[in-house]
Amino acid sequence: MDKIFLSALRVECIVGIWEWERRVKQTVVIDLEMAADIRRAAASDRIEDTLDYKKVAKRLLAFVGDSQFQLVETLTEHIARIIVVEFGVAWVKVRLNKQGAIRGARDVGIEIERRAGDYASGASNPAGGRPIEAATPVAPVPHG
């Protein structure tokens, strides 16, 4: 299997459960591996014949930058869904790193792998069958 990767995509967003995290944007770092058969593009030398990683990056920068999730798990799942559903990728590995979230640890985050079959029906859609943008919470939930 061929893979296209994108490493260390840095995006500032609202993510977290604590009240201060709902007010201050934090940087998350995203690493992606995306299945892609590159043979056609290699033969044609045309961007139209491959996964355009610049378009993927621009989509994620916009989505993540506007998001306001409480959990990195939720954000990571939505990123995977965007890549699989919107870009027609058969398999993706998403690693999301919320650096500095734990005192004494440089990195903390989540890594998931998803396939196209994971999003075959609205029932398995983490957004509950709604478009991704509609699933983004807009109001913080008070904690503690």
Annotated active-site positions, please?
A: 98
* Contact assessment for residue 57 and residue 63, using Cβ atoms and an 8 Å cutoff: no
Which H helix or E strand runs over 87? Answer: helix 87-87
Q: In the sheet where 68-69 sits, what is the strand order?
A: 68-69, 3-15, 26-35, 91-97, 109-115
Q: At what angle do helices 53-66 and 72-81 cross, to 10 degrees?
A: 140
Instruction: Please state, in angstroms and rounded to a whole number, the distance separating the CA atoms of residues 54 and 69.
Output: 24
Reference 51, options 96, 114, 6; nearest CA is: 6
Instruction: Please state, in angstroms and rounded to a whole number, the distance separating the CA atoms of residues 77 and 65.
Output: 15
